[in-house]
Every structure is written in C-alpha cells, then in structure tokens.
Chains A and B, each alone.
Chain A
Amino acid sequence: MASGKGNKKKQEDSDKYSVLLPTYNERENLPLIVWLLVKYFGESGYNYEIIVIDDGSPDGTLQIAEQLQKIYGHDKIVLRPRPKKLGLGTAYIHGIKHATGNFIIIMDADLSHHPKFIPQFIEKQKEGGYDLISGTRYRGDGGVYGWDLRRKLISRGANFITQVLLRPGASDLTGSFRLYKKNVLESLVERCVSKGYVFQMEMIVRARQLGYTIGEVPISFVDRVYGESKLGGNEIVSFLKGLLTLFATT
C-alpha cells in the first residue's frame, strides 16, 4: 500500500499536518475515516497526526478510538476527549491547543469528506503558499452525492445570496473541509463567534478580511452513510440570521 517512492521524496519535508476530527456518535465512521487517512498519508508520505476530539459520545466512539490508537500508534492517533457535548467551534479550539503540526486540517468524521483530497490540498498550498485551502463542492469537478433537488436548490440558493451579499472570494463557504496554517487558524478561531454552518462561513469571510490568501480544491461531498444527520428547518433560519449578522458586522 505505502509507496516507498512517496515516502522518501518527502522525508526532508519538515511540515507536519494535524488532522482534527471532532466526533459525536461516530463509532461506525471513525475507524473508516482513520483507515482512509492512514492510507492516503502513507501513500503520499507527509508527516501527520490525527487528533480525535470526542465529546462523550454515548455510542462509545471513544472506546473505538482507543482501539485505533493501539493499532496505529500513539504518535499517529491522539485522543483529546471532552466529557460532554460542547459544540464544534470549541472542539476545534480544544484540538488546536494540542496540535503539534504547523498545518491543521479540519474535516468531518462522517465520511462526507474524503481523505483522498488531502494530498491535493497540500500540493495546492505548497504551490501558492496559501494561508488556507478550502475544499469546494461548487467548482470544477466538485460536487455532491445523495442530495435531492430540494437540497441542491437550498444549497445553491443560499450560496448565491451569500456571494451577492458578502463577496467573500471563495466559492464554498459552508463546507468544513479545509487546511489552515496553524497560526492563521488560531487567529481566526479567536475572532469567530458564530455557531454551526455560520461558523465555517465566518472563518472564511474573516480570513479574507484579514488579508489571508485562500486557495480552492474541488471536492466531492458524499452524504453520510452511517449515523444521524442534523439538517433541519431551523438550520435555514439560523443560517439566514448568521448571514445577516456577518453582513452587518464584517
């Protein structure tokens, strides 16, 4: 599986990539996402660690994570659990504190973000020296799987309105598959106050405002296969509220 060629090529590379995996009830997905991460990092030869931030999932995600740590080693799998569900935003802050890499990759653990894109993110970043790389479903070969017409319409509509109002200079604002320079992420997280989808949007809007450079890589987003989804009607309301807040304050 691991290609020796890739390994050797990147050995002198001093960059290290910390992948933050916030989990809440992802016992089925976690082993699979970790396996894929190990596969693609192994093949491309970059230095990495996977930081699992589990918020006391009642389904026993943490026990699975502990087993994975035994299989793949304590240097590769780092566990930073918290006792109860405290939300995504603070999970990132918590993870960053423990990250030893100079780059941080943020992604969902539910398999909707495929690790095969990470080497592309890294190459893109190195190519242009970008401060952050954002995966985009809306450009090039990017796309989605498992979305009906209604969801596509909401997604495209919301994206269009946001583009018109905020002109953020990035095509996918609510996606959360991104690579950041560590110090850039730290300074952004400090400034961002929103919750949920809006948090991702605020991160990229503020990044642009602070003059950080943004690169984009098309990604395919495959809807979660296992576990519960949390997309509801009040998501839309809170999205619009968040959008207007950003409109008035940034």
Chain B
Amino acid sequence: MTKLLEWLFAVSLVGVAWGLVTFDLLDFQFPAVYREVAWPMPVYLLVVFGCYSLATVGYRVATFNDCEEAARELQGQIQEAKEDLKKKGLKI
C-alpha cells in the first residue's frame, strides 16, 4: 500500500466516524451534545495539527546546531592540506 493510500484510508475512516456521529447516519439516537462536540472536530484537529507543526518546526529551527567549531577545524585543516600537498608536488 502506498503512503497515499494509507492516508486516504485513515482520512476516510475518520471521515466516516465523524459523519456517523454528526449526522447520526445509522440512527443511533445519540444525545445532542455528541453532535455538538463532533461537528467542529475536523477543524479543531486541523488547528491542533497546524499549531503542533509550527511549534515543532520553530523549535527545530531555533535549536539547529551551528557548527562553528567544525568550520574552524576545517579551515585549519585546509591550510595544513595545502602546505602538505605543495610539498608533495601538487601544482594548481
């Protein structure tokens, strides 16, 4: 099953569950409060997911390591390499 199908499957499951409660498709006679909670649920979920995404990406951007030390080490090694290669007879 491709990822696309997995997603479609999951989304339709949620959709069916939502439809069942909100419109009482199978005539379960749910109390009215069920429907009130259920009908805005997709929007809630989207908002929650959006907030989660923004927070996660924001946090990860803020904590993305800056490898100053690695850059400095590399600069030093570049100098060392250039001198050594010159000695070994490399002509650029």
A binds B: yes
Taking a contact as CB atoms closer than 8 A, the residue among A35, A111, A149 that contacts B85 in the complex is A35
B67 within 8 A of A: yes
**Residues of A with C-beta under 8 A to B89:** 67, 71
B4 within 8 A of A: yes
Taking a contact as CB atoms closer than 8 A, the residue among A31, A71, A220 that contacts B70 in the complex is A220
For A48-85 the 0/1 string (1 means CB < 8 A from B) is: 00000000000000001001100100000000000000
CA distance A142 to B71 in the complex (A): 13
Q: Are B84 and A35 in contact (CB under 8 A)?
A: yes
Contact of A160 with B81 at beta-carbon distance under 8 Å, contacts A144-B67, A247-B4, A248-B2 already known: no
Q: Are B65 and A27 in contact (CB under 8 A)?
A: no
B61 within 8 A of A: yes
Which A130-152 residues have a C-beta within 8 angstroms of B? 138, 141-147, 149, 152
Contact of A67 with B91 at beta-carbon distance under 8 Å, contacts A35-B84, A220-B67 already known: yes
A9 within 8 A of B: no
Interface size, chain A (Cβ < 8 Å): 40
Taking a contact as CB atoms closer than 8 A, the residue among B3, B4, B65, B91 that contacts A143 in the complex is B65
Q: Are B67 and A156 in contact (CB under 8 A)?
A: no
Q: Are A31 and B71 in contact (CB under 8 A)?
A: no
- Give the total number of A-B pairs whose CB atoms are below 8 A apart: 89
Q: Are B70 and A145 in contact (CB under 8 A)?
A: yes
A250 within 8 A of B: yes
Q: Which of B7, B57, B61, B65 has the most CB of A within 10 A?
A: B65
- Size bracket, chain B contacts: 20 to 34
A169 within 8 A of B: no
**Residues of B with C-beta under 8 A to A142:** 65
Which A141-191 residues have a C-beta within 8 angstroms of B? 141-147, 149, 152-153, 155-157, 160, 164-167
Q: Are B71 and A146 in contact (CB under 8 A)?
A: yes
**Residues of A with C-beta under 8 A to B84:** 35
Q: Are A156 and B90 in contact (CB under 8 A)?
A: no
Q: Are A64 and B65 in contact (CB under 8 A)?
A: no
For A229-250 the 0/1 string (1 means CB < 8 A from B) is: 0000000000000000011111
Which B residues are closer than 8 A to A by beta carbons?
Answer: 2-4, 7, 53, 56-57, 60-61, 64-68, 70-71, 74, 77-78, 81-82, 84-85, 88-92
Given contacts A27-B92, A143-B66, A160-B57, 15 further A-B contacts (CB under 8 A): A31-B85, A31-B90, A32-B78, A35-B84, A36-B81, A68-B90, A71-B85, A111-B78, A145-B66, A156-B57, A166-B3, A220-B65, A220-B67, A225-B74, A248-B3
